[in-house]
Amino acid sequence: MSRLPQWLGGLGSGLVRLGERLEARKATAEARPAAGPTSVTGPTPGAAPTSVATPTPVPTPVSASAAAPPSGAGAVPAAGPVPAAEPVATLPAPAAQAAPGARPDPVAAVPWGVRVAAEVGWRLLVLAGTLWVLMRVISAVRLVVLAFVAGLLITALLQPTVALLKRRGVPRGLATALTFLSGFVVMGLVGWFVVWQVTENLDDLSKQVQHGITELKRWLLNSPFHVTQGQINNIADKLSEAIGTSTKDITSAGIEGVQVIIEVLTGILLAMFSTLFLLYDGPRIWQWLLKLVPEAAREGVAGAGPRAWATLTAYVRGTVIVALIDAIFIGIGLYFLKVPMYVPLAVFIFLFAFIPLVGAVVSGALAVVVALVTRDVFTAAMVLVVVLAVQQIEGHVLQPFILGRAVRVHPLAVVLAVAAGSMTAGIGGAVVAVPLVAVTNTVVGYLRAYAKEETPPKVSS
């Protein structure tokens, strides 16, 4: 009980001090401006610059029970300053809505289908421009491109022979030299044989042509088509007039023929050099070409290359076999029908077989015309039957069996490719168009399958 007066005295003095501090804070709060952020405004002319108002901490009320010391404590210590309240984070204001009269976004106003068509359209324009530039470049160096492609086709034909000689223990250089020399010697002998047969039989052929034209006139006069002698003479006069007016063109074509011969010889030399280096150093050339491909796509291209080469080799080998069978059987038919120059015609059929569809039609028509002007209508009709029968066997039996599915191309693609190749680079373009389409089909199919394998599998939910 002796300490009770002391405890009451300390409690009274603490309450007095707390009241004084509350009065002081209240006066300070009333002297300051209202709490809350104010915007900064520019200085008013002639007035003192204003500062940015800061939020004023709200004093925390202290109750008497909180300020009282615990039971048994001594004098109440002096209360310290109350800490300021932490600023409260405010949420950002929502975005302002578009005004009712504002115009909509033009991109959003375009229909989705039109936007897709526009995206596809400009990409197609870029591809078309790239192809146009590429075709212009190829046309400028057409001789070099055709010579290299011809060398590539000859290499595809001769490369199995080099591989066979290497397996027999022949060194690579010797195997390449033997294959190269034998291949071009055989092709040179075939060309010489054709020219020799034509020149040897030219006089006899001209006599037979004149006799055939006479027989054709007689057959037309006695035919059920009611052709008169005047109509036949009129056609002959028009042909003579056309030949006479075209004499100047024929002369200029003969002068340009010298330039054509020079270009052909240059192309043959380029094709020979290309074939020699491709036979000897083909793998290293392919490895060098792979280094030019970006690293990300190098693996896919490295896998597509051997498959493209296998397709090209199968196409060339199968085409040579099919052309040889056509030439042999049609030549035998011409021999039994006693058509003159059956051997050169068989060689022409073999060469024209490298132009799919179109070559068979042209070579068959040539054989029928020769039979018509040298023999008679019946012989020409029989030659037509032989040609059609051999071509039907070729199209339905030989090509599917020999070429296989790897190089099978749809007939529409063949016709379009041959037409585009002939328009771009003449006969050479028609020859290389179909193998190019076959190789492209193989490469695209492999790259599509490779991309599917590289795509990571989807994880199901």
DSSP string, 134-188: HHHHHHHTHHHHHHHHHHHHHHHHHHHHHHHHHHTT--HHHHHHHHHHHHHHHHH
368-406 in b/e form (b: 16+ CB < 10 A) is bebbbbbbbeebbebbbebbeebbeebeeebbeebbeee
Per-residue pLDDT of the chain (461 residues; tens, 9 = 90+): 455 556 556 666 766 677 777 777 777 776 665 444 444 444 444 444 444 444 444 444 444 444 444 444 444 444 444 444 444 444 444 444 555 566 777 777 788 888 889 999 999 999 999 988 988 888 788 888 888 888 888 898 888 888 888 888 889 889 889 998 988 888 888 878 877 877 776 666 666 666 667 767 777 777 666 667 777 677 766 666 665 555 555 555 555 666 778 888 888 899 899 999 998 888 889 888 888 888 888 888 888 888 888 888 888 888 888 888 888 899 898 888 888 778 888 888 888 888 777 777 888 888 888 888 777 788 888 989 988 888 888 777 777 776 665 566 777 777 788 888 878 777 777 788 888 888 888 888 888 888 877 654 444 44
Give the pLDDT confidence score for residue 64 in this predicted structure.
40
pTM for the structure as a whole:
0.61
pLDDT for 122: 92
Cα separation, 210 vs 217, whole angstroms: 11
CA angle 191, 423, 149 (to 5 degrees): 50
Given a contact cutoff of 8 angstroms between Cβ atoms, the answer to whether 433 and 420 are in contact is yes
**Which residue has tokens 């490895």?**
287
**Burial readout 237-250 (b: 16 or more C-beta within 10 A, e: otherwise):** eeeeeeeeeeeeee
Tokens describing residue 367: 């054989």
**Residue closest to 14 by CA, chosen among 61, 80, 85:** 80
Neighbours of 310 (CB within 10 A): 15
Cβ atoms of 369 and 223 within 8 Å: the answer is: no
Phi first, then psi, for residue 44 (nearest 5°) are -85, 135
What does the pLDDT read at residue 48? 43
User: Would you say the C-alpha torsion 46, 47, 51, 53 has a positive or negative sign?
Assistant: negative
Residue 16, pLDDT score: 67
pLDDT value at residue 128: 92
Per the structure block, which two tokens stand in for 426?
A: 């003449």
Cα 209 to Cα 94, 164, 233, 402, distances in angstroms: 97, 48, 17, 39
